[in-house]
């Protein structure tokens, strides 16, 4: 979403948006998408309530701090943070996972509490700064560092990011960082899109899901890093 808002408007003859404006719009998009998407994944039993509770509570607090503090960061710094995180996420998603479960049982999910909480805390601060709920880096870290199966990571991530998006949204809203008129069309289109995406994700094999996400994030990361270093 962020690369589209950064680079598509100028191609269509409109004015360019700053990273601060884009960050405000993407946090709105992330919040609405999570609400819509988590409903779908809950129906497919791919949301761990216990994992979401621990990671979501942590990420809410840290994302609130990151969202409020981002107003003091430069546009180039925000681009650099976002691009670096996205590149790391792409590498993690493209790495093969021999232990991946195709149809994991969410009620029998073991996980390391300290890994889950530390991951959520780190992603919350940085995700709040760049106006992201953190999905693009949280899913790869959940699958590689916290050892959560991909399908459960995707579904539970939405519940977790719902809290971080809410925190980031509040932080940016109360500090005047959201262009509300531009946010309206995003809200109107993201609800049906998130529903469709949730249904399709359960029809695609896990390996293909990881590759698709990894490639898309890598392309976005490279384009954003170019802007951060060369303008």
Q: Is residue 102 part of a domain?
A: no
Count how many domains the chain has: 1
Identify which of 165, 157, 125, 158 has the alpha carbon closest to the alpha carbon of residue 141.
157
Number of other CB atoms surrounding residue 222 within 10 Å: 14
Q: Is residue 179 part of a domain?
A: yes
Asked if 68 and 131 touch (Cβ cutoff 8 Å), the reply is: no
Q: Is residue 37 part of a domain?
A: yes
At 90, is the secondary structure helix, strand, or coil? helix
Helices (H), the chain: 2-11, 19-43, 49-69, 75-94, 113-129, 135-144, 150-173, 180-201, 206-230
Per-residue pLDDT in tens (0 to 9) along the chain, 231 residues: 777 888 888 888 888 888 788 888 888 888 888 888 888 888 888 889 899 999 989 988 887 787 777 677 776 777 787 788 778 878 888 876 656 656 567 777 888 999 999 999 988 887 777 666 567 778 888 888 898 888 888 889 888 878 777 877 888 888 888 899 988 988 888 888 888 888 887 788 878 888 888 888 888 788 778 777 776
Q: Is residue 203 part of a domain?
A: yes
Distance CA 36, CA 49 (A): 17
Residue with tokens 């309206």: 184
Structure tokens at 219: 């392309």
Sign for the pseudo-dihedral over CA of 218, 7, 196, 119 = positive
Write out the residue range of the structural domain in which residue 166 sits.
Answer: 2-96+107-230
């Amino acid at each position: 979403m962020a690369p589209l808002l950064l680079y598509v408007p100028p191609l269509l003859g409109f004015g360019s948006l700053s990273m601060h404006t884009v960050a405000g719009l993407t946090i709105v998009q992330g919040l609405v998408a999570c609400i819509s998407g988590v409903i779908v994944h809950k129906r497919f039993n791919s949301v761990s309530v216990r994992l979401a509770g621990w990671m979501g509570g942590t990420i809410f607090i840290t994302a609130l701090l990151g969202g409020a503090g981002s107003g003091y960061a430069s546009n180039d710094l925000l681009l650099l943070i976002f691009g670096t995180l996205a590149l790391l996420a792409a590498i993690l998603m493209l790495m093969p996972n021999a232990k991946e479960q195709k149809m994991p049982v969410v009620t029998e999910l073991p996980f390391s509490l300290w890994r889950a909480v530390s991951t959520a805390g780190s992603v919350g601060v940085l995700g709040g700064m760049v106006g992201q709920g953190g999905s693009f880096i949280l899913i790869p870290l959940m699958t590689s560092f916290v050892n959560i199966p991909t399908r459960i990571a995707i579904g539970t991530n939405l519940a977790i990011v719902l809290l971080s998006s809410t925190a980031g949204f509040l932080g940016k809203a109360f500090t005047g960082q959201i262009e509300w008129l531009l946010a309206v069309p995003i809200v109107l289109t993201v609800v049906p899109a998130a529903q469709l995406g949730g249904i399709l994700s359960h029809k695609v094999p896990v390996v293909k899901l990881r590759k698709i996400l990894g490639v898309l994030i890598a392309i976005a990361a490279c384009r954003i890093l170019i802007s951060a270093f060369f303008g």
